Amino acid sequence: MTLIKCKQITKHYYRGSEQITPLKGLDLEIQRGSFVALMGPSGSGKTTLLNLLAGIDTVSEGELIIDNEQIHNFSKNKLASWRADHIGYIFQLYNLVPVLTAYENVEIPLLLHSINRNERHERVSDALENVGIADRYNHYPRQLSGGQEQRVAIARAIVSNPTILLADEPTGDLDRETGTAIMDLLKSLQEKQGQTIVMVTHDPQTTKWADTVLHLEKGQLIEQEVRS
């Protein structure tokens, strides 16, 4: 079942009078429950595409349909609440809020939903459990290692049961061993909960966890490889 549908997506940026077009007429479909790895050389438009899917950036031309909704027509505020409902975003540098504990960081997205305190507690605990960091719930980000921080970040991304989990080089800042653990964790989310994952990566090694690998070059999809 198609979850994400990109129709002739083009994105322009303007740097002064110069026009930059990181995405040119991109067509793409992503199935629900799949684990997609986005590959491509630097500057090929991977992050740009991910940001469009996340609803933190808007297309210049074309249509972007996610879960039967025409995202490209949404206003800024509508996009914000849509993100809260549908998107979990994992950053390369974790981006945890330094003044909040692991628990509170994970709780932050839930505050955007009308959920009572008890259920919130349950869901935050579940998410922390899920990523295997429940024992560190009371720690501040500076008291955690990179891998632990990324686990908290993943918990934060999954706590509100997003439709899509987006990750921009989630293991880019981690050593191989920790990276592997994080990839295993993502894979298990896909397998156990049917979570759709779109992940940008530079590292061909990490593509082995994905079931679909997309190759971008100069803003266009040049190869789509589906593994079973």
Partner 1 sequence: MKLLPIEYATRNLGRSPSRLILTVFGSSLVVLLIMIAAGFMVGMDATLNVSGSDKNIMLLGAGSLESVERSEVKMESSGIVSSSIKGYKTKAGVEGVSPEVHIQIPIDIQGEDRLVLIRGVEPEAFLVHERVEIEYGSLPRAGHNELLVGSLATRTLGYGKPKDALGKTILLDDDSYAITGVMVACGGIIEGEIWAPLSDLLVTTQRDTLSCIVVAIDEESGGTRSQLDGFAASRVDLELAAISEREYYAALAEFYKPIQLMVVMTCLMIAIGGLLGGFNSTYAAFASRVREVGTLQTLGYTRSAITFSLIQESILTASTGAIIASTIALVAIDGYTIRFSMGTFTLLITTEIVTLGIASGLALGVIGAIAPVIRCLRLPIPQSLRASE
Ligand X SMILES: Nc1ncnc2c1ncn2[C@@H]1O[C@H](COP(=O)(O)OP(=O)(O)OP(=O)(O)O)[C@@H](O)[C@H]1O
- Compare residues 57 and 126 and give the one whose CB is closer to ligand X: 57
Query: What gap in Å lies between CA 222 and CA 78, rounded to an integer?
Result: 33
| 20 binds, options partner 1, ligand X, Mg ion, none, Cβ within 5 to 8 A by partner type | ligand X
| DSSP letters for the chain | -EEEEEEEEEEEEEETTEEEEEEEEEEEEEETT-EEEEE--TTSSHHHHHHHHHTSS--SEEEEEETTEEGGG--HHHHHHHHHHHEEEE-TT----TTS-HHHHHHGGGGGS---HHHHHHHHHHHHHHTT-GGGTT--GGGS-HHHHHHHHHHHHHTT--SEEEEESTTTTS-HHHHHHHHHHHHHHHHHH--EEEEE-S-GGGGGG-SEEEEEETTEEEEEEE--
Contact of residue 15 among Mg ion, ligand X, partner 1, none (CB under 5-8 Å per partner type)? ligand X
13 vs 194 by CB, closer to ligand X: 13
Q: Minimum distance between the CB of residue 84 and Mg ion, rounded to whole angstroms?
A: 23
Nearer to partner 1, 112 or 222 (CB): 112
Q: Give the number of residues in contact with ligand X, rule: CB under 6 A.
A: 12
* Closest to partner 1 by CB, 72 or 209: 72
Q: Tell me the per-residue interface mask from 19 to 58 with ligand X, x by CB under 6 A, - otherwise.
A: -x-x-----------------x-xxxxxxx----------
Q: Which does 77 bind (CB under 5 to 8 A by kind): partner 1, ligand X, Mg ion, none?
A: partner 1
Stretch that binds Mg ion, among 15-23, 47-55, 121-129, 177-185 (CB under 5 A): 47-55
Question: Does residue 141 touch ligand X according to CB under 6 A?
Answer: no
Q: Kindly tell me which residue out of 47, 101, 195, 201 binds Mg ion, with binding defined by CB under 5 A.
A: 47
222 binds, among ligand X, partner 1, Mg ion, none (CB under 5 to 8 A by kind): none
